[in-house]
Homo-oligomer: A and B are copies of this chain.
Amino acid sequence: MRTLGAVELEDVARGAAVLGTGGGGDPYLGTLAALRSLDQYGPPRVIEVAELDDDAMVALPFLVGSPVPFIEKFPLGQELIDAFHALDRFLDRKLTAVMAAEIGGANSVVPLIVGSRLGIPIVDADCMGRAYPEVQLVTLTLHGISATPFAMADEHGNQLVFETIDNFWAERLARAAVMEFGAIATGMAYPINGKQVKQAAIHGSLSYAQRIGKGLREAAATKHDPIAAVVEETAGFVLFRGKIVDVQRRTQHGWALGEARLAGVDGDLGASLTVRFQNENLVAIRDGQVIATVPDLIAIIDADSGHAITTERLRYGHRAVVLGIPCPPAWRTPAGIDLGGPRHFGYDIDYLPVETLVKTLTGAGAPIR
């Protein structure tokens, strides 16, 4: 067990923004809300998966919807606690801990807020090892674990709980409700016991994000290359360096959908790159060839600061580096690719690991630098 102070909390958020692959909600706003909780309720307590009792009851708190209205509505107070109690009331056994659904953007710090406010521990794990835009896209689904009972709440005080026959139905109902709630709301779902966390979650995710964020912070303090710090920590690849020249984005079905096009500034890495997204970056196409796809992580990073740029913040003229980061092994199984791979999002592409694509397209076996 350890507690997180303000510096550690900001490290987590900074690192999780990279792992969010463009989604998960604005990490700056998430951090502000988490720091406020820390001030008011004390530092969040983080426990390792190994410290969790097998019969502990854990649930995943998160924001559901589009990151675009999140900028305006900023729902990180009572709505989170309302969703927690709505689920807790529905369960036969009381919730004893929370855990991140996704280690991306604001959703990586949402469990820290809930843990701090309610005085319960946060498990150092998540269920994606990245961010994903649909509620069934978690490793728990691969283990046949139900998303429901699934609770939601909005900033007005409306609440709902549903139980569905599968996790795709949970996504459908959550999406329908969140559109009524103004395209952003809080969720509390996937109640599981400690044993299931040990079997089905991705362990150490909070620490992983924290290390990435710490690397970025130290690079800034010592004037070192922040991109190199991320690449080193994640075993990632620089896919492209350039300037954002075009962004198309719309809010539809409770998602931010669209694409960004970048023009290259580094001849060795190609002339143009297109990144398509549904809250999260899904596919990167360099000079007409796919260079990375889900489930691998595609992160658009500010070239100077090394901070991740979320899809709703993409703007013309931004100088950026695009990274490809290998996803956790669970997503590279046939079931994982089937659930969260390119075909799920409508791309008729066979998944190939980013390290394979990088090697094939450049002829080099080593990370492109």
| Residue in B closest to A165 when the chains form the complex, CB atoms | B157
Is A265 an interface residue, CB under 8 A from the partner? Answer: no
A169 touches B158 (CB 8 A): yes
A269 lies within 8 A of chain B by Cβ = no
Chain B neighbourhood of A162, CB < 8 A? 158-161
A180 at the interface (CB under 8 A from B): yes
In contact, B165 and A156 (Cβ under 8 angstroms): yes
Is the pair B158, A160 in contact by a Cβ cutoff of 8 Å? no
Is A73 close to B, CB under 8 A? Answer: no
Task: For A161, give the chain B residue with the smallest CB separation.
Answer: B161
Binary per-residue interface labels of chain A (154-187) against chain B in the complex, 1 for a CB within 8 Å, 0 otherwise: 0011111111110001001100110110000000
Q: Which B residues lie within 8 Å of A86 (CB)?
A: 163
- Find out whether the CB atom of B180 lies under 8 angstroms from the CB atom of A160: no
Contact of A177 among B90, B161, B173 (CB under 8 A): B173
Provide the bound-state CA to CA distance between A172 and B180, in Å: 7
Interface string of A286-317 (1 = CB under 8 A from B): 00000000000000000000000000000000
How many residues on chain A are close to B (CB under 8 Å)? 19
Instruction: Judge whether B169 and A156 touch: CB under 8 Å.
Output: yes
With both beta carbons as reference points, the residue of chain B lying nearest to A162 in the complex is identified as B160
Mark out the residues of chain A between 107 and 150 whose CB falls within 8 Å of any chain B CB in the assembled complex: none
What residues on B are CB-neighbors of A157 within 8 Å? 165
Residue-by-residue, is A330-357 near B (CB-CB < 8 Å gives 1, otherwise 0)? 0000000000000000000000000000
A180 to chain B, nearest CB (A): 5
Contacts of A165 on B, CB cut-off 8 Å? 156-158
Nearest CB of chain B from residue A276's CB, rounded to whole Å: 26
Distance of A117 from chain B, by nearest CB (Å): 21
Residues of B within 8 Å of A90, CB to CB, are: 90, 161
Cα A179 to Cα B173 with chains together (Å): 10
Shortest distance between the CB of A173 and any CB in chain B (Å): 6
Say yes or no: A176-B180 contact (C-beta < 8 A), given A158-B163, A162-B158: yes
Q: Would you list which residues of chain A between 76 and 100 have a CB under 8 Å from chain B? A: 86, 90
Query: What are 23 contact pairs spanning A and B, CB under 8 A?
Result: A86-B163, A90-B90, A90-B161, A156-B165, A156-B169, A157-B165, A158-B162, A158-B163, A158-B169, A159-B162, A159-B163, A160-B160, A160-B161, A160-B162, A160-B173, A161-B161, A161-B162, A172-B180, A173-B180, A176-B177, A176-B179, A176-B180, A177-B177
